């Protein structure tokens, strides 16, 4: 099935430009160009031969090698070959995860220092953890 540039861009950005099976970096401009660095194909998570459709929720970017090797096997099986369980996050979800991990670090830091140094340590730990979380996520204000 031929895809227009807008659809290819949406598929590519679903995983921030990484193969959804092995997480290698892909090149948007090298769609369908085997042999080029970062070459990729549109891969059907549920293969068409097993009832999969061309709906966007079934389409992911995959490097040419992964797409060929997967054939009509399940995505779970193909990711397992590469030691992966999930597709890479898109840019929006990546930012959200960084923020939430920073927040969790603040809570954990506050708890750890609270146990070690008492109530004052809990406050210092929470503030320190929040600062570290913010440093990891520069968009956090």
Q: What is the pLDDT of residue 56?
A: 94
Q: Is 27 left (phi over 0), alpha (psi -120 to 50) or beta?
A: beta
Q: What is the pLDDT of residue 100?
A: 84
**CA angle 41–34–87, rounded 5-degree value:** 35
Q: What is the pLDDT of residue 133?
A: 47
d(CA 87, CA 56): 15
- Tokens for 54? 């061309």
Going residue by residue through the chain, which has 141 residues, state the pLDDT in tens, using 9 for 90 and above. 689 999 999 999 999 999 999 999 999 999 999 999 999 999 999 999 999 999 999 999 999 999 999 999 988 898 999 898 888 878 888 788 788 887 777 676 666 555 565 555 555 555 555 444 444 444 444
**What is the fold, at CATH topology level, of the domain defined by 5-88?**
DNA Binding (I), subunit A (1.10.30)
d(CA 111, CA 109): 5
How many C-beta neighbours within 10 Å does residue 49 have? 9
d(CA 8, CA 56): 10
Q: What is the pLDDT of residue 139?
A: 45
- Tokens for 119? 């109530």
Domain ranges of the chain: 5-88, 89-141
């Amino acid at each position: 099935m031929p895809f227009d540039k807008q659809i290819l861009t949406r598929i590519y950005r679903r995983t921030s430009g990484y193969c959804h099976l092995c997480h290698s970096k892909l090149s948007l401009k090298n769609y369908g160009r085997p042999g080029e660095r970062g070459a990729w194909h549109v891969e059907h998570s549920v293969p068409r031969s097993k009832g999969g459709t061309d709906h966007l929720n079934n389409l992911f970017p995959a490097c040419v090698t992964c797409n060929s090797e997967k054939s009509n096997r399940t995505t779970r099986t193909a990711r397992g070959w590469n030691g992966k369980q999930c597709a890479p996050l898109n840019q929006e979800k990546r930012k959200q995860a960084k923020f939430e991990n920073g927040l969790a670090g603040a809570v954990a830091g506050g708890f750890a220092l609270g146990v070690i140094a008492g109530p004052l340590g809990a406050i210092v730990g929470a503030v320190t953890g929040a600062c570290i979380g913010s440093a990891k996520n520069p968009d956090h204000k």
